[in-house]
């Protein structure tokens, strides 16, 4: 790891296993940015983060001119809009939008209810895993036709969805591996083994003001 002039760096407030933060870190890494990574605790968010983004979700990206991007998809589009070496943005926009919206709404809602039914005491969460399974099955069908969800190349949609499919698989990996979805299982495994994912999942200690060490992600 190298040291960089902090003024010129991007700052990213992040939480290691948050799927929204994962998709953002993967895009920033792929685009080759140098990022000062500020690992936070969701239960103890730094004041500095809440000052720039009062809604209190990660990821939060601060650009060198001080502007703030605090939605994961906007961070992905910003980073890849600057540099997209593997053409992740080069895919059918309508399909991409459909897949990401379904993931971030229907799939995410069902995933939360499957993973954390205790958080929804007034709801019947028993069907949540089935809703997830239907969407996973659709992804598997698409992956039967080509190596990635939209075509043979990785696109933004693959990276946007992958951390959520990972989270769903990890709730009960034996169940996930027993699904008759070999194409989806292979796709997940390949993304888990990618250098991009492995690098952005390195563990960093929680950031606090005054920390000298800058924790960086970059593909340089």
Ligand X SMILES: N[C@@H](CCC(=O)N[C@@H](CS)C(=O)NCC(=O)O)C(=O)O
Which residues in this chain contact ligand X in the complex, by CB under 6 A? 15, 18, 20, 42, 56-59, 71-73
Alpha-helix residue ranges (DSSP H) falling in the chain: 19-31, 47-52, 72-82, 93-102, 108-115, 128-145, 156-171, 173-178, 182-192, 195-200
- 18 or 128: whose CB is closer to ligand X? 18
Angle between helices 72-82 and 156-171 (to 10 degrees): 140
CB of 112 to ligand X, least distance (A): 10
CB of 145 to ligand X, least distance (A): 28
CB of 17 to ligand X, least distance (A): 8
Q: How many residues does the chain have?
A: 220
Q: Which residues contact 1 (CB under 8 A, 6 or more apart)?
A: 215, 216
Q: Which residues contact 25 (CB under 8 A, 6 or more apart)?
A: 12, 14, 35, 37, 59, 200, 217
35 three-state secondary structure: strand
DSSP summary character for residue 198: H
CB of 87 to ligand X, least distance (A): 23
- 73 or 132: whose CB is closer to ligand X? 73
Instruction: Give the Cα separation of 61 and 88 in Å (integer).
Output: 20
CB of 26 to ligand X, least distance (A): 14
Nearest-CB residue for ligand X? 18
- 21 or 214: whose CB is closer to ligand X? 21
- 15 or 33: whose CB is closer to ligand X? 15
Handedness of CA 4, 36, 159, 187 (dihedral sign): positive
- 118 or 180: whose CB is closer to ligand X? 118
């Amino acid at each position: 790891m190298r040291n960089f002039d902090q003024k010129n760096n991007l700052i990213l407030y992040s939480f290691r296993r948050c799927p929204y933060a994962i998709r953002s870190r993967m895009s920033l890494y792929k685009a080759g940015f140098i990022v000062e990574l500020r690992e936070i605790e969701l239960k103890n968010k730094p004041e500095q983060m809440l000052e720039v983004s009062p809604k209190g979700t990660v990821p939060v990206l601060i650009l060198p001119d001080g502007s703030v991007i605090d939605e994961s998809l906007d961070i992905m589009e910003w980073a890849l809009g600057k540099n997209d070496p593997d053409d992740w943005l080069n895919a059918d926009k309508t399909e991409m939008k459909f897949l990401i919206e379904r993931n971030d709404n229907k799939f995410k809602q069902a995933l939360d209810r499957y993973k954390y039914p205790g958080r929804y005491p007034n709801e019947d969460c028993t069907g949540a895993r089935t809703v997830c399974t239907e969407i996973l099955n659709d992804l598997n069908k698409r992956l039967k036709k080509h190596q990635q969800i939209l075509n043979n190349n990785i696109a933004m949609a693959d990276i946007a969805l992958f951390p959520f499919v990972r989270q769903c698989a990890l709730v009960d990996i034996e169940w996930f591996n027993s699904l008759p979805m070999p194409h989806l299982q292979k796709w997940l495994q390949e993304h888990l083994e990618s250098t991009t994912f492995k690098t952005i999942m390195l563990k960093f200690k929680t950031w606090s003001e005054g920390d000298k060490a800058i924790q960086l992600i970059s593909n340089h």
